[in-house]
Chains A and B, each alone.
Chain A
């Protein structure tokens, strides 16, 4: 847990582009909230590896979102069922149902569909919001936080030592 927090601090305080961090977290949201062994997650993995996305942010986000997904399963089921049984979309699903690749994607499962609709819908808003928050953090909060007494105490703590160790590794 301490290492995870240290990693988060390291990423936030690093020179990494905010877009790379937020994109990693947003891809993690798709991969984590939807069933892990799904066809679309192979594509997500390809994008995560090929695009210059922050991998640490992706892995952290994946761990977090996978845990949350179990709590949100009932919501995903209801959402997915509503989408799959909507009469206006029936013809679309019927067409996709004929395709081997879409069947392999298992799109007709309520949780796959519900979690995919949920995470894709939130992808852009979360991306923009995280971008904004990271920038604001770096502009206003980071300098102020480092001057606070709590941060001073924190710097003297074991956690900060860990962070320093990791930073040192990074620059090796």
Chain B
């Protein structure tokens, strides 16, 4: 035994292991720090920095000090800065390469803090100035010059007249040339000649009669065929003419469409007033929707992280190969857990308006494995400028194909101050002060976004218009707006995150309609009447010409009718009156004619 055992080797092993352990303990904090910074920077696209990391083994835990996440769009600003993050780790699962955080506490979370140095990792493209979702579109209060408008505008009525005129000419030419190809006088003369020859044949005895019978039959069939052909052509012609008449009738309504189009184009309609809530408040709400969408888009890749890797748990599953590293084959786990999970995060956010506290449960990139959605709830009371505020919701990606995210936001006694509602030169509007109670419920099922919001604004002080404004419309509107002390607001959002469709309605529409609706309606009626007169005058002559051209088709119709009648006359008159058809039906020897 002694020959094969080297007892000092055991001591050497212990020494080697101790050296490794010391090195690991000494360097692990720095290694974890660099790993977090590298992974964070890669994910955010801007610098993620930590002041210090402290890893403890018994019990397993991690403490991060001053985490700074740069805003990729503003490298001199931290999107989030967190003073302390403390987390307790599941040590056993850590050995399984799973980061399971039982509880995480985030203290001193602040948003949009300044940075000492730039946190850009790549060149930041110049941010485009955010254009409002809605632009102010006040009705015009002056009747535009109708004559000038008609000279400039491409009217639908004129276009239709020109098209119909060209079509009429083409159809007329077509039918005139077709008439030449149809059986006419020459054909009728030919038939008359054949009838005459038949009469002679019947006088030539039995042989002549029998030969004539066949010729009569042939002639009859020829004439009937011509009549059928003429009938078909006449039907086709009547259909063409009917279509042209329909188009002419449709032309009668084209001027009305032109008038409506021009009223909208030159903004001489009360439509703008009916939608003033959207015009004034839609921009703000649209901006909030876009901000929400941006934050959601940042979170979404994390929620769908495991799906991208195909993280199911049924049977062995091969992950993507890495050269020299091999591939990991995963098997079904008895108690499956995601690779990353924070069961509970307690967050304290320091905002300008005060401190918000909340909890987030089940933060993971693999909800299908965990079987629970990520839920969150934040609230704050007696804050600066808000009596109370709460935000709660759930991001449910447990079944990835049926992802459903929900959130509800409530704010009571929200102080609104110096909100610019319209920057329009003609009619600036600002909310000087007021209080708002708001509720917003947002849902996202797959790509379908729905949101319903209700707001009650009270103690409002609004300023509108410019000093020395002489425009009666804006004056009336300004007077109505400044008298408003409370408003009810209803917002509905549909569509997708990329293309949200925001619809707003409020008392404001009714108030403004009442204030200036009559004025705008009268103006619109006057403009419409002027347009009607001018367009009618402009199209009178072309319309007469069209009617005249269309009446030219009557001649073709008459010609077709006459030809058909003449063929019928020959068939009936000449065959029945001049040939002894009755006598031919009973021939000697019991022969019968086939007609």
Contacts and interface: CB of A to CB of B under 8 A. Distances in A.
A73 B4 CA distance: 34
B96 A100 contact: yes
Contacts of B327: 77, 81, 109-110
Contacts of A73: 324, 326
Nearest to A100: B95
Given A110-B321, A114-B326, 6 more contacts: A51-B6, A93-B316, A98-B333, A100-B95, A103-B95, A104-B95
A46 B12 CA distance: 9
B316 A85 contact: yes
26 contacts: A46-B13, A49-B9, A49-B10, A50-B7, A50-B9, A51-B5, A51-B9, A52-B3, A70-B324, A73-B324, A73-B326, A76-B326, A77-B327, A81-B329, A85-B316, A85-B318, A90-B316, A93-B316, A93-B331, A97-B330, A100-B92, A103-B97, A108-B328, A108-B331, A110-B327, A110-B328
Report, nearest first, the 5 A-B pairs whose CB atoms are least far apart.
A111-B326, A49-B9, A110-B326, A97-B331, A84-B329
A105 to B, nearest CB: 10
Interface of A: 42, 45-46, 48-52, 70, 73, 76-77, 80-81, 84-85, 90, 93-94, 97-98, 100-101, 103-104, 106, 108-112, 114
A156 to B, nearest CB: 37
Contacts of B329: 81, 84-85, 93, 108-110
B332 interface: yes
Contacts of A51: 4-6, 9
A84 to B, nearest CB: 4
Interface string B58-99: 000000000000000000000000000000000010011100
A169 B316 CA distance: 56
A112 B327 CA distance: 9
Interface in B350-409: none
Nearest to A53: B6
A114 B325 CA distance: 12
Contacts of B22: none
Nearest to B97: A103
B295 to A, nearest CB: 36
Contact of B325 (A50, A81, A108, A111): A111
B6 A77 contact: no
Nearest to B7: A50
Interface in B476-525: none
B16 interface: yes
Given A52-B6, A90-B316, A108-B328, A45 B13 contact: yes
Interface string B309-321: 0000001101001
Contacts of A94: 331-332
A84 B316 contact: yes
B2 to A, nearest CB: 9
Contact of B12 (A42, A49, A81, A114): A49
A50 to B, nearest CB: 4
Contacts of B321: 77, 110
Contacts of B12: 49
Contacts of B537: none
B540 interface: no
Contacts of A108: 328-331
Contacts of A111: 324-326
A84 B13 CA distance: 32
Contact of B13 (A49, A77, A98): A49
Nearest to A111: B326
A73 B12 CA distance: 31
B126 interface: no
User: How big is the B interface, by class?
Assistant: 20 to 34
A45 B6 contact: no
A30 B125 CA distance: 54
Contacts of A98: 333-334
A134 to B, nearest CB: 17
A106 B327 CA distance: 11
Contacts of B7: 50
Contacts of B324: 70, 73, 111
B15 to A, nearest CB: 10
B10 A50 contact: yes
Contacts of B332: 94, 97
A52 B7 CA distance: 9
Contacts of A97: 330-333
Nearest to B8: A49
A70 B324 CA distance: 8
B340 to A, nearest CB: 16
Contacts of A84: 316, 329
Nearest to A85: B316
A110 to B, nearest CB: 4
Contacts of A42: 17
A108 B315 CA distance: 13
A77 B322 CA distance: 10
Interface string B5-45: 11101101100110000000000000000000000000000
Given A52-B6, A103-B95, A104-B95, A109 B326 contact: yes
Nearest to A23: B4
A77 B4 CA distance: 35
A109 B97 CA distance: 13
Nearest to A70: B324
Contacts of B96: 100, 103-104
Nearest to B91: A100
A116 to B, nearest CB: 12
A110 B320 CA distance: 11
A106 to B, nearest CB: 8
Nearest to B323: A73
Nearest to A115: B326
Nearest to A19: B4
Contacts of A77: 321, 326-327
Contacts of B325: 109, 111
A118 B178 CA distance: 92
A85 B4 CA distance: 39
A20 to B, nearest CB: 9
Given A81-B318, A93-B316, A103-B97, A50 B328 contact: no
Nearest to B329: A84
B5 A52 contact: yes
A78 to B, nearest CB: 10
Nearest to A103: B96
A99 to B, nearest CB: 9
Nearest to B327: A110
Contacts of A109: 325-329
Nearest to B20: A42
* A73, A101, A110, most chain B CB atoms within 10 A: A110
A104 B324 CA distance: 19
A111 B325 CA distance: 7
Contacts of B95: 100-101, 103-104
B467 to A, nearest CB: 76
A138 B329 CA distance: 47
Contacts of A48: 9
